Amino acid sequence: MDIEKIWNERSWTKQARDIITNIRKFPEDAKVILILRHSQRNEPKKFSVNADLNLTPQGRKIAYLFGSNLPKNRSIRVFHSDAERCQDTAKEIFNGFKEIGGEAVLKGSFKPLSHIGIPVKSFFKENEKYEILELFYRWVAGVYSPTLWTPLITYSQNAGVQMLEKIDNAPEKTLDIHVTHDLHLMALRLGWFGLHPDGRWVDYLGGFVFSLLEDQIKLFEYGEFKPVEYPYWWKNSKLT
């Protein structure tokens, strides 16, 4: 298994490579937050609660390589969802960064990365009827009872406040890495920045990176930087 070749040439690692390249372009002293999908997992023929969704050997090695390519001038803190594939991704990133002499803390499980407020059985039942993006849009539109499926805006605002609380008192140059799932990534991207998925999916070890500037949020995603306005609830928070 030529991991360097996989890292440099495979299409599914491009988003990860872009993140590594462009995270260096944020202001040197800025605190930065990375919302990251887990690394490559096993892909069962039929998705179910009991399916083996853990990392492949290749996924583990690429996550380690991702960590070893992070900028050493930053200290990192790594959070993850409860899912084993996210825990293992976080550990490999941590180990890779430590290998190059980086300052790192493995912070562990963080609730917003695991719990989006949708019952698992209900989600899979609906997923049998609708493709994942269609199901996502139905949730966003409020088709499901808010007493059963937490509305997207509620989830995203709560997650945002909790993540900002985590980094608020951190030293300058801190990079907080949150390892989570594709659905959580899409929800936060839309709920925070108003950005539509446009049919694009988040690859393994893909995601978005941002930093809070005085008058705007500096966001990197899908290969480009873009300035983003603060949501009203975020800008008015004591955390900004």
Residue-wise pLDDT for 186-240, tens only, equals: 999 999 999 988 877 899 999 999 998 888 899 999 999 999 998 888 765 544 4
CA angle 82–76–168, rounded 5-degree value:
85
H/E segment holding residue 212: strand 207-212
pTM: 0.93
pLDDT of 77-98, one tens digit each? Answer: 999 999 999 999 999 999 999 9
pLDDT greater at residue 240 or residue 61? 61
Q: Report helix angle 57-68 to 84-99, nearest 10.
A: 40
Q: What is the CATH number of domain 3-235?
A: 3.40.50.1240
Token output for 168: 């608020």
pLDDT value at residue 238: 44
Residue 5: CB atoms within 10 Å: 9
Given a contact cutoff of 8 angstroms between Cβ atoms, the answer to whether 81 and 39 are in contact is no
Provide the residue ranges of all domains of the chain, joining segments of one domain with +. 3-235
CA distance linking residue 214 with residue 171, whole number of Å: 17
H/E segment holding residue 204: none
DSSP 18-35: HHHHHGGGS-TT--EEEE
DSSP code of residue 216: S
Average pLDDT for 33-47: 85
Average pLDDT for 145-161: 94
Inform me whether the pLDDT recorded for 4 exceeds 70.
yes
Given a contact cutoff of 8 angstroms between Cβ atoms, the answer to whether 186 and 177 are in contact is no
Contact residues for 112 (Cβ-Cβ < 8 A; gap 6+): 155, 158, 159, 162, 163, 178, 184
CA distance linking residue 25 with residue 85, whole number of Å: 29
Map residue 52 onto helix, strand or coil: coil
